[in-house]
Amino acid sequence: MTDPVPAVVLLGPPGSGKGTQAERLRDDGFVTLSTGDLLREARAAGTDLGRQASQYMDRGDLVPDELIVGTIREELGDLDGKPILLDGFPRTVAQADALVGALDAHGRELTAVVLLDVPDETVIERIAGRGEGRDDDDPETVRERMQVYHAETEPLVDYYEERGLLRRVDGSGDVDDVSAGIRAALDGG
Ligand code: ADP
């Protein structure tokens, strides 16, 4: 029997630096899958998924679970045998439940969930200052995304803590410090 291929989830509020850190972890041999990037690409390409997701993204709300879970299932099938890093998924308990079966179907197993811990005030300042020009970065939509995070996604902290998978990393330092914290958390098994 072959061992399951590892999968790691990056969890944290909007603006916590998940995308930046996911990029960096590519250098460590991870294939990264960012649902935010996937959805923005789908929207730019005008696919069905992009059209369906657009209205939710613009409001700062989550796209429906069925839509994103179906997308993740397909994407997982397309990846080769490298360890994967999920950025922006799961974001609800229903998505986390669905992830277990989706990984299993592709001979993968969730080995760790890294929580980037950043206070609300810091993420709001970061998003206001980053000037990426994202449609969902205006102050009102950012407030909605924060509320959605606390209501829908934060319950995953307890969910993964109960399953012994959660690793907390201070995400408020500079990018290099946070990367070092993530590597230490993953090496610590
Ligand atoms: P951020 O973490 O900065 O809020 P993302 O780029 O991860 O931004 O996501 C942008 C938007 O894409 C979200 O506000 C949401 O509408 C949608 N989205 C991304 N991932 C998911 C997901 N797993 N479930 C539902 N919606 C998602």
Look up residue 137 and give its DSSP letter.
G
For residue 2, the CA-to-ligand 1 centroid distance in Å is 33
- 15 in contact with ligand 1, CB cutoff 6 A: yes
Distance CA 74, CA 49 (A): 13
* Residue to mutate, 18, 35, 99, 143, ligand 1, most ligand atoms under 8 Å from C-beta: 35
Catalytic residue positions, numbered? 18, 91, 130, 134, 145
Beta bridge partners of 115: 11, 168
Spacing, Cα 34 to ligand 1 middle (Å): 9
* Residue at token pair 């509020």: 13
- The full length of the chain comes to 189
Q: What are the mean pLDDT values of the chain's consecutive 10-residue runs (189 residues total)? A: 84 94 91 95 96 96 97 87 94 98 92 96 88 85 95 98 98 95 88
Indicate the pTM of the whole model. Answer: 0.94
- The structure tokens listed for 112 are 């760790």
